Amino acid sequence: MDNSMVDVTLHIDEELDVQTREALRDSLLHARGVMAADCTAAQPHLMIIEYDPDVIKATALLEIATRRGLHAELIGL
């Protein structure tokens, strides 16, 4: 099995509280092909997502955020 994990940063426009950020992170982690998703307290509007591009596309990660009613962009493509 080829392990081709990559990272992308999701820039979230809204200021999210901890519960909302964790709910978004959990949604991302439940997506097939996503290995990790996290943000820091210093930069809560940036979430770094580690995923397998052979399994899930970066645009699908963005779609997970937008389906939650968030405005976001992908950084680092």
pTM for the predicted model, two decimal places: 0.89
Q: Does 1 score more than 60 pLDDT?
A: no
CATH topology of domain 6-75: Alpha-Beta Plaits (3.30.70)
Ordered DSSP codes for 1-52: -----EEEEEEE-S---HHHHHHHHHHHHTSTTEEEEE--SS-TTEEEEEE-
Residue 51 has what pLDDT? 96
Residue 7 has what pLDDT? 94
Residue 2 has what pLDDT? 59
| Residue-range domain boundaries for the chain | 6-75
- Whether 2 and 54 have beta carbons less than 8 Å apart is answered as yes
Give tens-digit pLDDT for 28-72. 999 999 999 999 888 999 999 999 999 999 999 999 999 999 999
